[in-house]
Amino acid sequence: MWHEIGLTHYLVVAAALFVIGLYTVATRRNLVAVLMGVELIFNAAALNFVAFSHWVEGAVGGQVFALFVIVIAATEAAVALAIVLAIWRNFRSIDVADTTELRQ
């Protein structure tokens, strides 16, 4: 089965990518690193869509979705990184541990 690449292969890769992205978000103290993790998650989701669109329906809907994911990811990256800059200016640090104003 290993040489017959199918849907499940892609799903597994996407799952691994997703989980690693989650790990990055959950663990990293650098805000930018957290954002990079979020990008990983986006990519995993888009990969899933594309895989499904190829193997399950044959329609192009999945790819459209993946396209939109890319768009939104870019948008989100822009805004988030602008926020990071603002945080940097206010806190002089982009360590997550230092931006805990909402901490109880």
Partner 1 sequence: MSPAAAVVFYALAAAVVISALGVALARSIVTSALSLLGTLGGVAGLYLWIGADFLGIAQILIYVGGVLVLVLFAILMTHRIGDSRLTNLSAGVTVAAPSTIALGALLMKAALKTPWPVTEAAAAPTTARLGDALLDEWLLPFEVASLVLLLALVGAMVIARRAAHQKTRPADVA
Partner 2 sequence: MSFVWLAILFPLVGAALNGALAVAGAKPPRWVHHAIALAAMAGAATVAIAAAVVLVQAPHEARRLVAPAWALLPGPGLREPLALVVDPLSATLFLVITVVGALIHVYATGYMAADRAPARFFAALNLFVAAMLLLVLGSSLVTLFFGWEGVGLCSWLLIGFWYEEPANARAAMKAFVVNRIGDLGLLLGMALLAWRVTGGALSFDAVVATGLHADGGALTAALVLLVVGAAGKSAQLPLSIWLPDAMAGPTPVSALIHAATMVTAGVYLLARLGPLYARAPQAMLVVAILGAATALWAALAATAQSDLKRVLAYSTISQLGFMFLGAGAGASEAALFHVVTHALFKALLFLAAGVVIHAVHEADHHAGEHGDPQALARMGGLAAALPWTRRAYLVGCWAIAGMPWAAGFFSKDAILGATLARHGWPLFLVATGAAGLTSLYMFRSYYLVFRARAPRAALAAHAVEALDKKDGAAMRRMVGVLVVLAGAVLVAGPLLGLPEALTGRAPVLEHWLAPVTSAGVERAAAPHALELVAMGLSLAAAVAGWALARALWADEARGAALRETLASAFGRFEAPARDGFGLDALAARAVVAPYRRLSSLVAGFDRGVVDGIVALVAMLARGAAWLSGAIDRYVVDGAVNGVARLVVAGGRRLRRAQTGRVNTYVLVVVLGVLLLGVLTTLGAR
Q: Which of residues 15-34 bind partner 2 (CB under 8 A)?
A: 22, 25-29, 31, 34
User: Hey, is 67 helix, strand or coil?
Assistant: helix
CB closer to partner 2 out of 38 and 50: 38
Interacting partner of 91 out of partner 1, partner 2, none (Cβ under 5 to 8 A depending on kind): none
* Backbone torsion region of residue 41, taken as left when φ is above 0, otherwise alpha when ψ lies between -120 and 50, otherwise beta: alpha
103 binds partner 1 (CB under 8 A): no
* 102: contact with partner 2 by CB under 8 A: yes
Question: Is 9 or 29 the residue whose CB approaches partner 2 more closely?
Answer: 29
Residue 1 contact among partner 2, partner 1, none, beta carbon within 5 to 8 Å by kind: none
**Which tokens hold the place of 45?**
């989701």
Question: What residues are paired with 95 via a beta bridge?
Answer: 30
Angle among Cα 85, 89, 92 to the nearest 5 degrees reads 110
Tokens of 60: 């192009």
45 part of the interface to partner 1, by CB under 8 A: no
